[in-house]
A and B are shown apart, each in its own frame.
Chain A
């Protein structure tokens, strides 16, 4: 029996004033411990909302229904204070745009130290040393501690975000399109770094992306979402080479391959909708 870290049962997300409009519609999945699970889907499919509901950072205008169990505990029963303690320590998150998630008027050293001291009562000296250690872990020179975010490149900023997220050695790391804004060569470095950290710390990762190439490189398990529903889930090999659902097949047909031999087939949504409705 595989051990799972997070179980989501019948999760639905909808606006407060319109409970019939399901943005995420009755989804259930488990995250296997120590593995990387990728959520794939187009914009508007509800993949980011699912991630935000786990960390309880959904907009107050949205409500969610269903059960989210983390390590056996029901996250919905947590008080705001308890959740705040958990966030960062047990579950950490990395966002897509590294510039908007760092504070431009504080040095990166300060921001990393802040993340550490929220969850520990270490003396200042130790916190400073640990911050430098974290920067080294993500391959940034120690003298960069006093740099401001605008002095760093996009890839370096994302490394700083990863250092902050890793500061408390979380059990679960949620990465919401962390490499979409980066160049391909930098993207390859960041993916490698995340995968190494995951293996070293036996961390579980929930990785949101729309790029099947990234899925191929990093995922153990894949969840495919379409219009708020999970249409298919399974091990990465099965999904990429033997997709069962027509939407997964259609989406894979849109990905340009490196050989350049296959013709791109844009999705025929009217046809697809009929198939989805019928199933």
Chain B
């Protein structure tokens, strides 16, 4: 069992100030002594409600925010206090897929330009760029003709496919998916989940999958990481957590799943 990422004892606090004349500040612990190991080639799902710190965790791992204390080792390299030059090289190997396919694509760029941008930044030759773009667009189920179009010409599901293509074009090792299917219809959600699964098999990808939908977790994740108020409540294999949850919070989350067969009685009756 090889780990692609090990993070130890991460903490991150945010300070909030309130009041105009009388300043009051309060501290929020977004990450409170969180340690996480991500197994290579597997999917680790991070579950929690809004405000539980799951997005902060993702941002900390991709180094979009700095952590107050703790350490992060990615692919054998300590990236906790890395310089900007090295960071650029590491970022090539960690990519992100965002929640909102409408907001995460630049409306004034053609799909070709959107997909080309990461390649330009990483100094690929023109010939290579074209080859890679043509290759990836078909992998995510779109056509080469689509490259000349603008984002508004696509549906939500198709846009999410473009977002996936952009994340995968640099052949990353770790892909952080921040609620990639929460904005989509169930029918489209099923397509995207199946696409992510097949791409994982093909490219031996590792996913860190952030979601609040436990039904999706059950489907895609090998391991689960449950968070509440910046703390880790529970972690382990998906099967085990779903069958025998230990913490009361996980139990509560499981009981809240709509259509849960374990909760046979209808409300009120």
Residues of A within 8 A of B (CB): 42-43, 154, 183-188, 191-192, 195-196, 199, 210-218, 250-251, 253-260, 264-267
The answer on a CB contact under 8 Å between B268 and A196 is: yes
Please report which residues of chain B, range 172-228, place their CB below 8 angstroms from some CB of chain A when the two chains form the complex. Answer: 185-191, 193-194, 212-216, 218-219
Q: Is the C-beta of B252 less than 8 angstroms from some C-beta in chain A? A: yes
Residues of B contacting A187 with CB < 8 Å? Answer: 256, 258
Cβ distance A212 to chain B, nearest Cβ, rounded Å:
6
Do residues B215 and A195 form an inter-chain contact, with CB atoms below 8 A?
A: no
Contacts of A217 in B (CB 8 A): 258-259, 266-267
> Are B267 and A196 neighbours in the complex by a CB distance under 8 Å?
yes
5 A-B interface contacts by CB (under 8 A): A185-B253, A188-B258, A218-B266, A256-B216, A266-B191
Q: How far is the CB of B9 from chain A (nearest CB, A)?
A: 27
Residues on A with beta carbons closer than 8 Å to the beta carbon of B266: 195, 217-218
Query: Nearest B residue to A41 by beta-carbon distance?
Result: B185
B interface residues, Cβ below 8 angstroms from A: 49-50, 156, 185-191, 193-194, 212-216, 218-219, 238, 242, 252-253, 255-261, 266-268
Chain A residues with CB under 8 Å of B259's CB are 211-217, 258
A183-B49, A254-B186 in contact; A260/B218 too (CB < 8 A)? yes
> Is B190 a contact of A258 with CB atoms below 8 Å?
no
Q: Which residues of B contact A185 (CB under 8 A)?
A: 49, 252-253, 256
Residue of B nearest to A263 (CB): B194
B190 and A260 within 8 A (CB): no
**C-alpha spacing A260/B212, complex, angstroms:** 16
Closest to A262 in B: B219
**Cα distance A183–B50 when bound, in Å?**
7
17 additional contacts (CB under 8 A) given A185-B252, A218-B266: A42-B185, A42-B186, A42-B187, A43-B156, A184-B214, A184-B253, A186-B49, A195-B266, A210-B185, A210-B186, A211-B258, A254-B187, A258-B215, A258-B218, A258-B259, A266-B187, A267-B191
Contact status B218-A256, CB under 8 Å? yes
Complex Cα distance, B50 from A210, in Å, reads 21
Known: A43-B185, A267-B187. A260 touches B219 (CB 8 A): yes
A212 near B49: Cβ-Cβ < 8 Å: no
Distance A258 CA – B219 CA, assembled complex (angstroms): 8
A128 smallest CB distance to B (angstroms): 29
Whether B267 contacts A191 by the Cβ 8 Å rule is yes
- Chain B residues near A218 (CB, 8 Å)? 266-267
Chain A residues closer than 8 Å to B268, beta-carbon distance: 192, 195-196, 199
The docked-state distance in angstroms from the alpha carbon of A196 to that of B267 is 7
Once the chains bind, are A216 and B258 in contact (CB under 8 Å)? Answer: yes
> Is the CB–CB distance between B212 and A184 below 8 Å?
yes
In contact, B238 and A188 (Cβ under 8 angstroms): no
What residues on B are CB-neighbors of A256 within 8 Å? 189-190, 193, 213, 215-216, 218-219
Inter-subunit contact B261/A258 (CB<8 Å) = yes
Residues in chain A near residue B190, CB distance under 8 A:
253-256, 264-267
A35–chain B nearest beta-carbon distance, Å: 12
Q: Which residues of B contact A184 (CB under 8 A)?
A: 49, 212-214, 253, 256-258
Q: Inside 8 A of B194's CB, which chain A residues have their CB?
A: 264, 266
Give the complex CA separation of A184 and B250 in angstroms.
12
> A237: shortest Cβ distance to chain B, in Å?
11
A184-B253, A199-B268, A264-B219 known; A251 and B186 CB under 8 Å?
A: yes
Check A258 against B214 for contact (C-beta < 8 Å).
yes
CB distance from B202 to the nearest CB of A (A): 17
Complex contacts, A255 vs chain B, CB 8 Å:
186, 190, 215
